[in-house]
Amino acid sequence: MDRGACHSGDTRRDLLFDSHVREEITVTETVIDIHELTKSYNGTKAVDGLSLQIQRGEIFGLLGPNGAGKSTTILMLLGLSEPDSGTINVLGLNPTREPIPVKRRVGYLPDDVGFYEDRTGFENLMLTARLNGIPEETARGRATELLEQVGLTHAANKKAGAYSRGMRQRLGLADVLVKSPEIIILDEPTLGIDPTGMEELLGLIRKLSREQHLTVLLSSHQLHQVQQICDRVGLFVRGQLLAQGDVSSLSRTLFADDPIIITAEMDGYSSRLQDEIRSIEGVHHLEVGASLQADNSPAEADVPEPDTAVRLIIRSSTDCSPEVARRIVEGGGRLFSLSRQQYGLDEIYHRYFAGGDDKHGEKSDSKHYSQA
Ligand SMILES: Nc1ncnc2c1ncn2[C@@H]1O[C@H](COP(=O)(O)OP(=O)(O)OP(=O)(O)O)[C@@H](O)[C@H]1O
- DSSP string over 267-299: E---HHHHHHHHTSTTEEEEEEEE-TT-SS-PP
287 and 208 within one domain: no
- Write down how long the chain is: 372
243 and 313 within one domain: no
279 and 311 within one domain: yes
240 and 131 within one domain: yes
> CATH number for the domain including 190?
3.40.50.300
Closest-lying ligand 1 atom to the alpha carbon of residue 68: 21
Residue 100 domain flag: yes
Residue 174 domain flag: yes
174, with CB counted inside 10 A (0-12, 13-18, 19+), is buried
Given 254, 288, 305, which residue is the final one in a domain? 254
Ligand 1 neighbours (beta carbon < 6 A): 41, 46, 64, 66-72, 221
Would you state the pLDDT for residue 318? Answer: 85
Residue 281 domain flag: yes
Choose which residue among 62, 66, 81, 220 to substitute to test ligand 1 binding: the one with the highest number of ligand atoms within 8 A of its C-beta. Answer: 66
242, with CB counted inside 10 A (0-12, 13-18, 19+), is middle
Would you state the pLDDT for residue 302? Answer: 59
Phi-psi region of 170 (alpha: psi -120 to 50; beta: other; left: phi over 0): alpha
Q: How far is residue 312's CA from residue 47's CA, in Å, rounded to a whole number?
A: 45
Q: How far is residue 69's CA from residue 199's CA, in Å, rounded to a whole number?
A: 26
Residue 179 domain flag: yes
Q: Which domain holds residue 218?
A: 30-254
Residue 22 domain flag: no
Q: How far is residue 338's CA from residue 307's CA, in Å, rounded to a whole number?
A: 18
| Domain count of the fold of the chain | 2
242 and 351 within one domain: no
Kindly provide the ipTM of the predicted complex, given to two decimals: 0.96
Q: How far is residue 117's CA from residue 139's CA, in Å, rounded to a whole number?
A: 20
Would you state the pLDDT for residue 7? Answer: 35
Residue 10 domain flag: no
236 and 287 within one domain: no
59 and 208 within one domain: yes
Order of strands across the sheet with 260-267? 334-340, 260-267, 310-316, 283-290, 368-371
Residue 103 domain flag: yes
Residue 232 domain flag: yes
Q: How far is residue 247's CA from residue 259's CA, in Å, rounded to a whole number?
A: 19
282 and 177 within one domain: no
Q: How far is CA 100 from CA 26, 78, 79, 181, 314, in A?
A: 30, 9, 8, 13, 58
Cβ-proximal residues to 58 (8 Å cutoff; 6+ apart), any chain: 215, 216, 231, 232
The CA-based diameter of the chain, rounded to the nearest angstrom, is 82
Q: How far is residue 150's CA from residue 166's CA, in Å, rounded to a whole number?
A: 11
Distance from Cα 67 to the centre of ligand 1, integer Å: 5
Dihedral angle of Cα 26, 71, 250, 53, to the nearest 10 degrees: 30
Q: How far is residue 51's CA from residue 9's CA, in Å, rounded to a whole number?
A: 41
298 and 233 within one domain: no
Would you state the pLDDT for residue 24? Answer: 46
Mean pLDDT by 10 residues, the chain (372 residues): 36 39 61 96 94 94 88 94 96 95 93 90 96 94 93 95 91 93 91 80 88 91 77 89 81 76 91 92 88 50 71 90 93 91 71 53 35 38
Given 254, 283, 298, which residue is the final one in a domain? 254
Q: How far is residue 207's CA from residue 85's CA, in Å, rounded to a whole number?
A: 36
Q: How far is residue 165's CA from residue 266's CA, in Å, rounded to a whole number?
A: 50
Q: How far is residue 26's CA from residue 351's CA, in Å, rounded to a whole number?
A: 34
Would you state the pLDDT for residue 27? Answer: 61
Given 254, 278, 297, which residue is the final one in a domain? 254
Cβ-proximal residues to 268 (8 Å cutoff; 6+ apart), any chain: 306, 307, 328, 331, 332, 333, 334
Q: How far is residue 120's CA from residue 144's CA, in Å, rounded to a whole number?
A: 12
72 and 180 within one domain: yes
> CATH number for the domain including 335?
3.30.70.1340
Closest-lying ligand 1 atom to the alpha carbon of residue 72: 18
Question: pTM for this structure?
Answer: 0.71
Would you state the pLDDT for residue 291? Answer: 67
Using DSSP's 3-state secondary structure scheme, residue 159 falls into strand
Q: What angle do CA 151, 155, 156 make, to 5 degrees?
A: 95
295 and 278 within one domain: yes
Distance from Cα 206 to the centre of ligand 1, integer Å: 28
Using DSSP's 3-state secondary structure scheme, residue 158 falls into coil
Phi-psi region of 212 (alpha: psi -120 to 50; beta: other; left: phi over 0): alpha
174 and 104 within one domain: yes
- Minimal-distance CA residue to ligand 1 atom 3: 41
- Minimal-distance CA residue to ligand 1 atom 24: 66
